[in-house]
Amino acid sequence: MVAIINYGVGNLYSLKSSFAAIGEHAVVSADEDEIRSADRIILPGVGAFSDALEKLKASGLDGVLVSEAEKGKPVMGICLGMQLLFDKSLEYGEHEGLGLIRGEVVPFEGRINKELKIPHIGWNALEITQPDCPLFKYIKNADFVYFVHSYFADGCDESVTAYSEYDIPVTASVQSGNVFGCQFHPEKSGEVGLKILKAFCEI
Amino acid sequence: MITKRIIPCLDVKDGRVVKGVNFKSLGDVASPIELAEYYSRSGADELVFYDITASFEGRKLFTDVLCETAKRVFIPLTVGGGINSVEDFDRVLKCGADKVSVNSGAIRNPSLVSEAAKLYGDQCVVLSADVKRVDGVFRVFSKGGRENTGMEAIEWIKRCVGNGAGEVVLNSIDTDGVKNGFDLEMLDKVCNAVNVPVIASGGAGGIEDFITLFKTLPKVDAGLAASIFHFGEVKIETLKQEMKNNNIPVRI
Q: What pLDDT shows up at residue A199?
A: 98
3-class secondary structure, A107: strand
Q: Has residue B58 got a pLDDT over 70?
A: no
Q: Using CA atoms, how far apart are residues A48 and A91, in angstroms rounded to an integer?
A: 7
pLDDT of residue B18: 78
State the nearest Cα–Cα gap between A71 and chain B, in angstroms: 32
Is B250 inside a domain boundary? Answer: no
| Residue B162 counted as domain residue | yes
Chain B residues whose beta carbon lies within 8 Å of the beta carbon of residue A190: 40, 74-75
User: What does pLDDT average to over chain B?
Assistant: 90
- pLDDT of the residue at B241: 98
Three-state helix/strand/coil letters over B107-138: HHCCHHHHHHHHHHCHHHEEEEEEEEEECCEE
- Express as a percent the part of chain B with pLDDT over 90: 70
Summarised one tens digit per residue, pLDDT across range B141-164 is 998 888 999 999 999 999 999 999
**In terms of Cα–Cα distance, which of A192, A63, A90 is closest to A136?**
A192
B252, part of any domain: no
What is the CB neighbour count within 10 angstroms for residue A100?
23
Q: Which residues lie closer than 8 Å to A67 by C-beta, 6 or more apart?
A: none
Complex confidence, ipTM:
0.93
Between CA B131 and CA B152 the distance in angstroms is 9
| In chain A, alpha helices (H) | 13-21, 32-37, 49-59, 61-70, 80-84, 190-201
User: Could you confirm whether B130 is annotated as catalytic?
Assistant: yes
CA angle B98, B101, B104 (to 5 degrees): 160
Mean pLDDT of chain A: 95
Edge-to-edge order in the sheet of strand A127-128:
A26-29, A2-5, A40-43, A75-78, A179-182, A168-176, A160-166, A127-128
Domain ranges, residue B76: 5-245
pLDDT tens digit string along B14-40?
777 876 443 344 444 568 888 899 999
Residue B147 inside a domain? The answer is yes
Q: What dihedral angle (degrees, nearest 10) is formed by the CA atoms of B34, B37, B43, B44?
A: 70
How confident is the model at residue B59, as a pLDDT?
Answer: 52
What is the number of residues in chain B? Answer: 252
Going by DSSP bridges, is the β-strand pair A160-166/A127-128 parallel, antiparallel, or unpaired? antiparallel
The chain B residue lying nearest A13, using CA atoms, is B96
pTM comes to 0.93
Sheet holding A101-107, edge to edge: A95-96, A86-89, A101-107, A151-154
Residue B204: inside a domain: yes
| CB–CB contact B2 A46 (8 Å) | no
Backbone angles phi, psi at B101, to 5 degrees: -105, 140
Domains of chain A in start order, with CATH, are: 2-201 (3.40.50.880)
Q: Which of A13, A148, A188 lies nearest to residue B94, judging by beta carbons?
A: A13
User: Which element (helix H / strand E) includes B159?
Assistant: helix B153-162
Summarize pLDDT for A76-127 with one digit per residue, the tens: 999 999 999 999 999 888 999 999 999 999 999 999 999 899 889 999 999 9
Q: Do A122 and B221 touch (CB under 8 A)?
A: yes
pLDDT-based confidence at residue A179 (cuts at 50, 70, 90): very high
- Residue A83: phi and psi, rounded to 5, are -60, -35
Residues A61, A75: Cα–Cα separation, whole Å: 13
Q: Is A72 on the interface with B (CB under 8 A)?
A: no
* Percent of chain B whose pLDDT exceeds 70: 92
Q: What is the CATH number of the domain that holds B155?
A: 3.20.20.70
The single-letter DSSP state of residue A56 is H
Q: Is B85 within a domain?
A: yes
Number of domains in chain B: 1
The model's pLDDT over A116-125, given as tens digits with 9 standing for 90+, comes to: 998 899 999 9
Active site residue A120: no
Q: Each residue of A35-78: pLDDT tens digit?
A: 999 999 999 988 889 989 999 999 999 999 999 999 999 999 99
